[in-house]
Amino acid sequence: MKIVRVLSIAGSDSSGGAGIQADLKTITALGAFGMSVVTALTAQNSLGVQGIYEVPTDFVEKQITSVLTDIGVDAIKTGMLTTTETLTAVAGLIRKYGIEKLVVDPVMAAKGGEALIKGEVKKTLIRELIPLCFIVTPNIPEAEILAEIKISDIHDMESAAKIIHTHGAKNVLVKGGHLTGDTAVDILFDGKQFHAFSATRIDMGETHGTGCTYSAAIATLLAKGQNITEAVKGAKAYITGAIRHAYSMGTGYRLINHLAPVLPDE
């Protein structure tokens, strides 16, 4: 049986809940071979981020080239890309190697909605990377930044998805976790029609790593040959199960359980 290969280009989370660590756990849990390119090192725990060290762009390029010229990939997902130079370099290599199954998790806004990247970095993400992606997966604050509109309901999510699609993404998934209500609804726009994916909202308090995990799951299922609606549906089920079984490992936010969705029920 052929093992599919999924590469995560993202930041490292020393707490293990998000970033590269969450991606590799997700890829492995869903039965694929995970690889990583580290774009930044973070010192963080369940209380927050205490420090960030950005990996030099030339070394990010070297990591990507090492993987693509030897092992190869069936899908790539990107996460934390915080400089214009790194964004441009990553986009250039994706074009060079003709990567078709690219999932872009635009890490643009923190949980509170404040922008993490802005100005020229934001413009570079929109200009260089989004046009190359098979799907981009913004949450509500990120979709508001990309579409430059306020989002307060599902109709706004659909409007934002259509606007973001004009930036060149083949598919746009606007995640509705930041809205209120008993149901968490995500909206996928494939360029022609909308698809809604719903799950009962789980009140577990603050959780960490959901966006990273969701996008890594989509990339893995795409790599395994699923179409876009199948991949999003499967990834939505996976992240819902991981949130449902989240646990407290520190004194701050809860960490989602990446193995829970694939383990047999007790």
Q: Which residues are catalytic?
A: 175, 207, 209-212
Secondary structure (H, E, C), the chain: CCCCEEEEEEEEECCCCCHHHHHHHHHHHCCCEEEEEEEEEEEEECCEEEEEEECCHHHHHHHHHHHHCCCCCCEEEECCCCCHHHHHHHHHHHHHCCCCCEEECCCCECCCCCECCCHHHHHHHHHHHHHHCCEECCEHHHHHHHHCCCCCCHHHHHHHHHHHHCCCCCEEEEECCCCCCCEEEEEEECCCCEEEEEEECCCCCCEECHHHHHHHHHHHHHHCCCCHHHHHHHHHHHHHHHHHCCECCCCCCEECCCCHHHCCCC
